[in-house]
Structure 1
Amino acid sequence: MDHLVSKLTYVHLALWIAVVVSESLGLSSVQPQNVDLYFPTPIAEGDDLTMNCRFKVDQNSSIYQVKWYKGNREIFRYTQKESPPKKSFPLSHVIVDEKQSDMNKLVLRKVPLALRGVISCEVSFEPSFQTIIKTSQLLVVSKPKTRPSLTVEFYPLNKPNSKTGVETVMVKKDDVLTANCTAGPSIPSPNITFFINGENYNSIKLGVLERKQEVTVDPVNKTEIRWASLRLQISYAHFVAHKIRVRCEATLFNLYNETSDQYEAERFRETVMLPSSYGGVYGKNGAGWSMGCGGGKSPVIFGRLVWSIAIVGAVQLVLLLTTLSNTTP
């Protein structure tokens, strides 16, 4: 028993000596003050990327090695005491620029879509060989190659002209506008915003009947196409300078922002035929009635009435002046 107690005493003494020595050398306090991993995200597929791993250590330690990982696959390492200190590891479509990379940064060229995911920076310190790992999520985006496409249709709520059966191509109050916008393919799908006369119509607005969006995914390359639809009942408030202008905009983070061609339609002015003797029409513009060009069979417009009145007045004036001149002594 005494023999066992003496052995335990020696062990405790040895441990105590080790603690004292480590504290005197500063080994027990070898802790990085901070390790920061940062890089721009999202990034567009095919762009270059610089990832930074910054760190500070206390005065009694130094950097032994820095490793970079994509998931659990090592991409690049920097070992300070080796020659050469840099070493990259093959990973599908990942191009490491060793010349520009160093202990604090990793430079990649033409980043592939496959690089998206967890990126890690592993820092080892000596003499303790303590290891600190920092991770962050990288998002790589595949942008659309084209602008969004827009189609616009108007459905007149009023019945077609009973005589001709032809609907006007102009836009009237209470017509229903249907705008369809398609953007993509991309990864992920872009956001779509509709604009009516320059005003964002993705929020609650006057006359909006329905909004719909759908995303379809290609089963092979996993690219996405977004389709969006807006149905709007037209009122006089939707016209600016007698026109309605429709466009859609597609955005993908801060990497893609494109606008479709703009669609324009003019307001149809309702007309009321005057008797044939007037040879013209009146047009209702929503704010009141105004004179306009005729649409009847007579080629003479309403201006003919004005000219007739002017001519009659002129003749009467001439006759009056003639009469006065004859009666003057």
Structure 2
Amino acid sequence: MLWGFVYAFLLLFLRNEVLCLNDVVLEMDPAIVDKGGTSKLRCSYDLQGAPLYTVKWYRGNHEFYRYTPKEHPSTKTFTLPGVNVDLQQSNEHQVVLQDVGFNLSGKFSCEVTTDAPLFSTKTVSKEMLVVVLPSDSPNIITDKSFYDIGDVLRANCSSPPSRPAATLTFILNNIVVCAKCNTIKTPVADLFSVDLSLDLPLFESHFHGGLLTLKCVSRIGDLYQQDSQITFSNARDPVPAKVTANNHSTANGTRNIRFLMLLIYLACVF
């Protein structure tokens, strides 16, 4: 009899526990933030009629904001380097962060707890990424203004500082040609500039109608993509062998006709 009562109580307790707190969701607007920008973190939840005890916000394992409706004041902040909370726009459902820095890239969490008699806690997390995108498209420099078959195409592509660092790719006449590419990433303050160099021997297959089009693509994941290109319109194809042979035969034919006319003239004179 006693075990039956305990079992029924546990079922009731667990049922109320499940119903007390549902659908806890964390949203970031935006989740990818420009350095120095603002992001709104919103935590929505369904208390199922239970009273709210507290909502806590964390960056990693460090709490930086708390909302407790039964306390006065109801909001409390905790010092964390780089975290600047807009108190006027923050409440039990959201936290607004201002002047976001690189150190805030990482995991943010919202922890919701219901009040007595049935305490229930749920935590949800989401990643934030703080970025600086390149200020301009990549720049290409080559060692020559035109190229022939057998030449070595030497080129350099550079991308303005960014964070994360950009990935550069050389494309020649729509074909990726980075088998012998060398990438150098250079720190610039808190950012990274990237240089990509290319040394490519040119064969007949590289030329399309006498043209070479070299493109450099700068990419940062799905966040950014820009490209620059140079077309060498005076790149020269070799003269076909049959053209040379035809010109040589024509010259020989002209000399033979002139010699025959000279013989005829001398015969008439003498």
* Residue 217 (structure 1) shift: 5.3
Q: Which has the larger radius of gyration?
A: 1
Contact 2:101 2:130 in 1 (8 A): yes
* Residue 145 (structure 1) shift: 4.1
After superposition, give the CA deviation of every residue in 1:151-185 in whole Å (9 maximum; x if it has no partner): 2235xxxxxxxxxxxxxx53223333232212243
**SS of residue in 1 equivalent to 2:133:** coil
Aligned Cα root-mean-square deviation (Å):
3.7
Residues 1:100 and 2:76 are matched in the alignment: no
* Residue 243 (structure 1) shift: 3.5
Aligned to 1:75: 64
Contact 2:206 2:212 in 1 (8 A): no
Aligned to 2:185: 216
Q: Percent identity?
A: 28
* Residue 287 (structure 1) shift: 11
Contact 1:122 1:131 in 2 (8 A): yes
Aligned to 1:302: none
Aligned to 1:264: 231
Q: Distance in 2 between matches of 1:228 and 1:170?
A: 20
Residues 1:90 and 2:82 are matched in the alignment: no
Contact 2:212 2:235 in 1 (8 A): no
Contact 2:183 2:197 in 1 (8 A): no
* Residue 248 (structure 1) shift: 1.5
223 and 287 in structure 1: CA distance in 2 versus 1, 3 angstrom threshold: farther
The amino acid that maps onto 1:225 is S
**SS of residue in 1 equivalent to 2:219:** strand
Aligned length: 241
Q: Distance in 2 between matches of 1:209 and 1:82?
A: 62
**SS of residue in 2 equivalent to 1:114:** helix
Q: Distance in 2 between matches of 1:112 and 1:212?
A: 33
216 and 20 in structure 1: CA distance in 2 versus 1, 3 angstrom threshold: same
Q: Any gaps of 5 or more consecutive residues in structure 2?
A: 245-270
The amino acid that maps onto 2:142 is V
Contact 1:45 1:143 in 2 (8 A): no
Which of 232, 239, 247 is the equivalent residue of 2:215? 247
Question: 5 Å matches for 1:7-22?
Answer: 16=5, 20=9
Aligned to 1:132: 122
138 and 287 in structure 1: CA distance in 2 versus 1, 3 angstrom threshold: farther
Aligned to 2:100: 111
Q: TM-score, normalised by structure 1?
A: 0.60
The amino acid that maps onto 2:108 is I
Q: Distance in 2 between matches of 1:92 and 1:37?
A: 22
Aligned to 1:178: 154
Which of 133, 137, 149 is the equivalent residue of 1:143? 133
Contact 2:37 2:99 in 1 (8 A): yes
* Residue 83 (structure 1) shift: 4.3
Q: Distance in 2 between matches of 1:100 and 1:287?
A: 78
Q: Any gaps of 5 or more consecutive residues in structure 1?
A: 1-8, 155-168, 203-207, 272-283, 291-329
Q: TM-score, normalised by structure 2?
A: 0.71
Contact 1:43 1:255 in 2 (8 A): no
Contact 1:172 1:267 in 2 (8 A): no
Answer 1 or 2: higher relative contact order, Cα 8 Å, separation at least 6: 2
Contact 2:149 2:237 in 1 (8 A): no
The 10-residue stretch of structure 1 (125-134 or 220-229) with the greater mean CA deviation from structure 2: 220-229
Question: 5 Å matches for 1:227-246?
Answer: 227-232=195-200, 233-235=202-204, 238-239=207-208, 242-246=210-214
* Residue 92 (structure 1) shift: 2.3
Q: Distance in 2 between matches of 1:287 and 1:130?
A: 87
